[in-house]
Chains A and B, each alone.
Chain A
Amino acid sequence: MKRLVSKLLLLTVSCAGMINPGFAQDQAPATAPALEEVICFESRKGASEVTKIDLQPGWPNVKCSTKTGAVLWWGDPFDGTVPMGDMPLLPNVPGKVVVKPRSAKMNLLPMCGTACHNGVGPQFNPPTLPKDKKPKPIPTMEAMFPDAKNFQHGRGRIWCLDCHHTTQRSKFVDNFGDPISFDQPQLLCGKCHGDKLRDWRDGIHGKRIGEWASTGKKRWFVCTECHNPHNVQDGVRNKGFIQLEPETPPQLPRGMKDAKHELLHGVAH
C-alpha cells in the first residue's frame, strides 16, 4: 500500500507545486546574455527569482554572485512584498510583517492558471475530482514534473491532497478542509512541524531581512522559499535544505600553494 501510494503520488502534483526545483532551475539561468538581463535566485534555486534592476542610478535592487547567481545583497529588502496576513498567536503588527507573494509562480504556463489552478477548480465537465485518497497518475503533470515521481516527504505516509486543496488547486488545505493561501504555507506546514513553526514565528528558525529591532519592519521568508516540500528528504545530506554550490574560497596566503599543507605534513606531537 505504502509503495503504491508513493508511486502514484507524483502525478497529481499540480502546477501549484511549482516549487519543484528541477523544473524551475531550467527556467532560471543565472544570466541571459541576449537581453543582458541578470536573473538571480534568493534563498534556493526555483523558489524566487529576481531580475536585477537599478532602483536609483547606481543603486541596484540586488547584487548577485557571479559564480553561483545567488543574491548577495538587497538594495531594498521590501521590494515587491505584500503584508503577510493574519497568523495565529502573532501579535498584530500591521505593515511590519511582509512576504514576497508566490502566486506569480502559479502561472508557469498560461493554461495552468486558467484551466485548473485558477483558485476555483478544474473546469472540466464533469470535474475529475478524486473520489478517494488513492492517487491516480495525471499524464500532463507527470510530464511536466518528472521530479514528482521521486516525492520525498513524509516517507510515504502523505499524499498530494494532504497539502493541496481538492477543488481550489491554487491553494493549500488546512485541517478543516478550508483553503490556505500560497503566501502562508506556514499555516499548512505547522500542522505537523509545530516546533519549527514556533521558532519561525519568534525569528529563531528561518530567515528575515529588513530591520533588526523586534518591532521593526521585516520581510519574512516563508517555508517554501527555503525548503522544497516535495524534496525535503534530500538523499545526500538529508537535512531539509538542498545542497547548493558554494562561493569561491578565500585567497591563500602568499607562498602557500594549496590548503593541504598542514594535512599532508603532520604536526609533531
Chain B
Amino acid sequence: MAPEKIPNVAPAEDLACESPAQAASADPSGPDMTTSRRDFMKAGGMLSVSSLLGVGSLITMSEDANAAVEWAEHFQGNYRLMTQQEKAEARARLERRYSAEYGKRVVVDGTEAQEGVLMGYALNIRKCIGCRRCVKACVAENNQSRGPRPGESIEWIQVLRMERGGFAEEKMNHGYPEGLGIQVGGNAYTPAGQVLEGQYYYEPELVPEKDATYMPIACMQCEKPPCVKVCPVRTTYREPDGVVVIDYNWCIGCRMCMGACPYWARRLNVANPVLPKEEMNPVTHYLGNRPRMRGVVEKCHWCMQRSRQGRYPACVEVCPVGARKFGNLLDPESEVSLILARKNVFRLKAEMNTFPKFFYFYD
C-alpha cells in the first residue's frame, strides 16, 4: 500500500460504536486481561457475576478505554456473519486498541474482494536460491511474533533444502537386510536425483549451495481447503477472491486446521506474541496482518492488506531472483496466467485434491 493511503482512513474516534454494554469496562480480571477468547471463557464465571450486577453500574466504573474495547470485542460475532455496520465497528475498536498499544496510528482495513479477481501465485522452483528473504519480508510485513524464546518466533514461509542424491559404487554390495530376508539393491535407500524430503534449518555461508535445490512452502490457498472443512467454529473460510482467511477473534485455538493442512502452513500463537512497537506494521487488514493474540492460529493470506489495494505481496516483491509471481488467474494477460499457459507447472501434493492456487513451475 502506498504510504499516502494511510491518512485516508477515518479516525477511529469518529465511529461512535459503543453500546452501553460495550462501553462498560467491567473487566473483573483487571486491565491485564488478555484478548483471547480462551482467557475470556476462563474468566467467564466472574464475568457472569459482574454482568448480574447490572450494566448500568458498570458504566460508571469505566475508567479504562482500552478495557472497554476489549469487553466489546468479546461479544462480537463471527466476522462473516456481521453486518457492514458491525464490521466497521469491530475494525474501529481494533484501531483504537492497536493505536494505543503500539503508540502509532494503526489502520485496520476491511476492503472486500474485488469482482472478477481470483488470486493466484506461481513460483519458479529452478530459480529459488534459498536466501530466505521472502521469509523475513513476510515477518516484517505481517506482524508475526518475533521473540527469542521457544514458540515466540513465527514464520509463515518455510524454505526446504532438497539434497541432490546419487548412486554410489561403494554401496553396491550393501544388501538389505543382512542374511535372511528379501534382498534389495545396495542403493535402495539412498536418494537419487532430487529427494522429496527437505530440511529447513540449513545455514551455509552462501546460497545457493552446489548440491541443493530449494522449495519454499507456505499456504497454498486451496480451492478445496481441508482447514476450512474441519474448523469447528467456521472462523476460517475462503474469500470470494480465493484467499483462505481467519477471523482471529473467533478462533478458539483448537488446532484442527493445523492437523488438516497437508502443507504445514498454519501456525499457532503458543505464547503471547512478541511484536516490538517500532517494528509493527501499522497498515493492517482485519482478515490479514493485524496483530494476533495468544491462542489463535495464523497463516499466509497473500498479504491481504496489500493485495486488496492492488500491491504485490511482500514476498513477491522481495525475491531477489524474481522466482515469485502473483496475479489474477481470471486475467489471461496476468503473469500467473501466462505461466500456466506456457511453462511446466505442478501443484504440491496434487493427489490430495485440495486444488491449490499456488503453482510451482520451471523453465
In the complex, what's the smallest C-beta–C-beta distance from A150 to chain B, in angstroms? 18
Q: Which residues of A contact B199 (CB under 8 A)?
A: 259, 262-263
Contact of B327 among A43, A212, A248, A259 (CB under 8 A): A212
Q: Which residues of B contact A269 (CB under 8 A)?
A: 176, 189
State whether B320 touches A244 (Cβ < 8 A). Answer: yes
In the complex, what's the smallest C-beta–C-beta distance from A211 to chain B, in angstroms? 5
Q: Return the CB mask of A52-78 against B: 1 if under 8 Å, else 0.
A: 000110110001010000111111110
Q: A209-B312, A254-B151 are in contact. Are A73 and B140 (CB under 8 A)?
A: yes
Binds A, one of B12-20, B86-94, B128-136, B346-354: B128-136
State whether B322 touches A246 (Cβ < 8 A). Answer: no
Q: A73-B140, A204-B338, A226-B320 are in contact. Are A243 and B3 (CB under 8 A)?
A: no
Q: Return the CB mask of B306-318 against A: 1 if under 8 Å, else 0.
A: 0100111010111
Considering the chains assembled together, what is the distance between the CA atoms of A136 and B64 in angstroms? 79
State whether A207 touches B319 (Cβ < 8 A). Answer: yes
Q: Which residues of A contact B342 (CB under 8 A)?
A: 204
Q: Which of A109-163 contact B (CB under 8 A)?
A: none
**Which residue of the partner chain B has the closest CB to A216?**
B310
Binds A, one of B68-76, B200-208, B250-258: B200-208
State whether B310 touches A212 (Cβ < 8 A). Answer: yes
State whether A214 touches B322 (Cβ < 8 A). Answer: no
Binds B, one of A25-33, A177-185, A234-242: A234-242
State whether B335 touches A248 (Cβ < 8 A). Answer: no
State whether the Cβ of B325 lies closer than 8 Å to any Cβ in chain A. yes
State whether the Cβ of B170 lies closer than 8 Å to any Cβ in chain A. no
In the complex, what's the smallest C-beta–C-beta distance from A189 to chain B, in angstroms? 15
State whether the Cβ of B272 lies closer than 8 Å to any Cβ in chain A. no
Q: A212-B312, A214-B333 are in contact. Are A246 and B363 (CB under 8 A)?
A: no
State whether the Cβ of B49 lies closer than 8 Å to any Cβ in chain A. no
**Which residue of the partner chain A has the closest CB to B127?**
A241
State whether A246 touches B132 (Cβ < 8 A). Answer: yes
**Which residue of the partner chain A has the closest CB to B103?**
A58
Considering the chains assembled together, what is the distance between the CA atoms of A71 and B319 in angstroms? 10
Contact of A249 among B151, B200, B335 (CB under 8 A): B200
Considering the chains assembled together, what is the distance between the CA atoms of A70 and B319 in angstroms? 11
State whether A252 touches B201 (Cβ < 8 A). Answer: yes
Q: A214-B328, A246-B207 are in contact. Are A204 and B140 (CB under 8 A)?
A: no
State whether the Cβ of A221 lies closer than 8 Å to any Cβ in chain B. yes
State whether A59 touches B343 (Cβ < 8 A). Answer: no
State whether B320 touches A210 (Cβ < 8 A). Answer: no
Q: A250-B200, A259-B200 are in contact. Are A236 and B210 (CB under 8 A)?
A: yes
Q: Which of A19-49 contact B (CB under 8 A)?
A: 43-44
Contact of B6 among A56, A72, A209 (CB under 8 A): A56
Question: At the interface, is chain A mostly helix, strand, loop or mixed?
Answer: loop
State whether the Cβ of B344 lies closer than 8 Å to any Cβ in chain A. no
State whether the Cβ of B356 lies closer than 8 Å to any Cβ in chain A. no
State whether A71 touches B318 (Cβ < 8 A). Answer: yes
Q: Return the CB mask of B286-320 against A: 1 if under 8 Å, else 0.
A: 00000000000000000000010011101011111
Interface residues on A, range: 35 or more
Q: Which residues of A contact B200 (CB under 8 A)?
A: 249-250, 259
State whether B131 touches A247 (Cβ < 8 A). Answer: yes
Q: Which residues of A contact B137 (CB under 8 A)?
A: 72-73
State whether B335 touches A72 (Cβ < 8 A). Answer: no
Considering the chains assembled together, what is the distance between the CA atoms of A75 and B49 in angstroms? 49
Q: Which residues of A contact B52 (CB under 8 A)?
A: none
Q: A44-B320, A65-B136, A72-B137 are in contact. Are A249 and B208 (CB under 8 A)?
A: no
State whether B150 touches A254 (Cβ < 8 A). Answer: yes
State whether the Cβ of B244 lies closer than 8 Å to any Cβ in chain A. no
State whether the Cβ of B84 lies closer than 8 Å to any Cβ in chain A. no
State whether the Cβ of A206 lies closer than 8 Å to any Cβ in chain B. yes
Considering the chains assembled together, what is the distance between the CA atoms of A43 and B209 in angstroms? 19
Contact of A259 among B140, B150, B201, B335 (CB under 8 A): B201
State whether B155 touches A250 (Cβ < 8 A). Answer: yes
Contact of A214 among B282, B314, B327 (CB under 8 A): B327
State whether the Cβ of B235 lies closer than 8 Å to any Cβ in chain A. no
State whether the Cβ of B321 lies closer than 8 Å to any Cβ in chain A. yes
Q: A55-B3, A73-B137, A237-B210 are in contact. Are A246 and B320 (CB under 8 A)?
A: no
State whether A205 touches B322 (Cβ < 8 A). Answer: yes
**Which residue of the partner chain B has the closest CB to A253?**
B150
Q: Which residues of B contact A63 (CB under 8 A)?
A: 140
State whether B325 touches A203 (Cβ < 8 A). Answer: yes
Q: Which residues of A contact B151 (CB under 8 A)?
A: 254
In the complex, what's the smallest C-beta–C-beta distance from B211 to chain A, in angstroms? 10
State whether the Cβ of A175 lies closer than 8 Å to any Cβ in chain B. no
Q: Which residues of A contact B27 (CB under 8 A)?
A: none
Q: Known pairs A207-B322, A244-B129; list 12 more (Cβ under 8 Å).
A: A70-B133, A70-B320, A210-B311, A214-B334, A237-B209, A243-B129, A243-B207, A250-B153, A250-B155, A251-B150, A251-B155, A259-B201
22 A–B pairs (Cβ distance < 8 Å), ordered by A: A44-B320, A72-B140, A76-B3, A77-B311, A199-B363, A202-B338, A203-B335, A204-B335, A204-B338, A204-B339, A207-B319, A207-B322, A209-B312, A211-B311, A214-B328, A236-B206, A241-B321, A245-B131, A246-B132, A247-B135, A251-B153, A259-B202
